[in-house]
Amino acid sequence: MRNIMLKEMKLSASPLAFLFIAFGLMFFIPGYPILCGVFFVTLGLFHSFQTAREANDIVFSALLPIAKNDVVKGKYCFVCFIEGCALILMTAATVIRMTVLSDAPVYRTNALMTANLFALGMAFFIFGLFNLIFVGGFFRTAYKQGRPFVIYIIIAFLMITVAEALHHVPGLGQLNAFGTEHIALQAVLLAAGILAFAVITLLSYRKACRDFDRIDL
């Protein structure tokens, strides 16, 4: 597995995939839909899939002495690695905003969602959607990327819009908790996001293995 990950990082990946991890720091931007940071990270991954396709990466990988499932596993591991790096930045930004910057007026007057555990849970969830819709969709043909990415964009921005605006719905104000307010609810929402990410990614990976095994390269 180490070898296939090295291949993903050194041969298949576009530098943009690594560079766009920095969009995780958008969780610091006040008055901006911070979940767009998740989308930009996945945009880097999309570009990486495009450059890999131009380099005949999938056929090259399938010819290596590894099981066909490992080709799929390599891609999912790489995607999860990039998402994990971005999530580390998002978590760091969230922790700073929930502690030392919890009373900063610039964040308190923010009409959009604040960076808290719910936002982090939503980031996990949207990354899970990317893995399900785009990565899983790609492995149905190991070639076509446009359609799954467009579907992902539509659903991701729908989710971002809902998440950013949800706390304005009467009764849901607790979602926009500052600092350690409603921490139990926040922790549950984060756990739900992580669980959704794990389950969605695992299901998508299993289906991608089945699809990839069926197609002709």
Partner 1 sequence: MSIAEVRHLVKKYPSFTLSDASFSVSAGRIMGFIGRNGAGKTTTIKSMFNLIHPDSGEIDYFGMPLIGNEEEIKKRIGYSTGTVNWYPRKKIRDIVSIVSRFYDTWDESAYRKYLELFELNESKAPVELSEGMKVKFNLLLALSHRAEVLILDEPTSGLDPFSRNELLDIFTGLKKEGVAVFFSTHIISDIEKCADDIVYISKGKIVSAMSKADFTGQFSEEGESLEETMLRMERGDLNA
Residue ranges of alpha helices (H) inside the chain are 2-7, 15-19, 36-54, 57-63, 68-98, 105-108, 117-129, 136-138, 146-165, 183-214
Question: Which range of residues in 4-12, 86-94, 125-133, 164-172 is near partner 1 by CB under 8 A?
Answer: 4-12
CB closer to partner 1, 57 vs 164: 57
Check if the beta carbon of residue 130 is closer than 8 Å to that of residue 45.
yes
SS (H, E, C) 162-207: HHHHHHHCCCCHHHHCCCCCCHHHHHHHHHHHHHHHHHHHHHHHHH
129: nearest Cα among 90, 157, 88, 167: 157
Q: Is 115 helix (H, G, I), strand (E, B) or coil?
A: coil
* Out of 11, 104, 111, 191, the residue judged to bind partner 1 by CB under 8 A: 11
Least Å distance, CB 49 to partner 1, is: 14
Determine if 57 is a binding residue for partner 1 (CB under 8 A).
yes
Question: Which range of residues in 64-72, 92-100, 119-127, 189-197 is near partner 1 by CB under 8 A?
Answer: 64-72
Least Å distance, CB 7 to partner 1, is: 5
* Out of 1, 15, 19, 67, the residue judged to bind partner 1 by CB under 8 A: 67
Contacts of 216 (CB under 8 A, 6+ apart): none
Gap between the Cα atoms of 21 and 13, Å rounded: 13
Determine if 64 is a binding residue for partner 1 (CB under 8 A).
yes
CB closer to partner 1, 55 vs 169: 55
Determine if 10 is a binding residue for partner 1 (CB under 8 A).
yes
Determine if 1 is a binding residue for partner 1 (CB under 8 A).
no
* Out of 1, 15, 19, 59, the residue judged to bind partner 1 by CB under 8 A: 59
Least Å distance, CB 4 to partner 1, is: 8
* Out of 1, 63, 104, 172, the residue judged to bind partner 1 by CB under 8 A: 63
Check if the beta carbon of residue 193 is closer than 8 Å to that of residue 122.
yes
Least Å distance, CB 58 to partner 1, is: 10
Determine if 141 is a binding residue for partner 1 (CB under 8 A).
no
Longest distance between any two alpha carbons in the chain, whole Å: 57
What are the residues binding partner 1 (CB under 8 A)? Answer: 3, 6-7, 10-11, 54-57, 59-60, 62-68, 214, 216-217
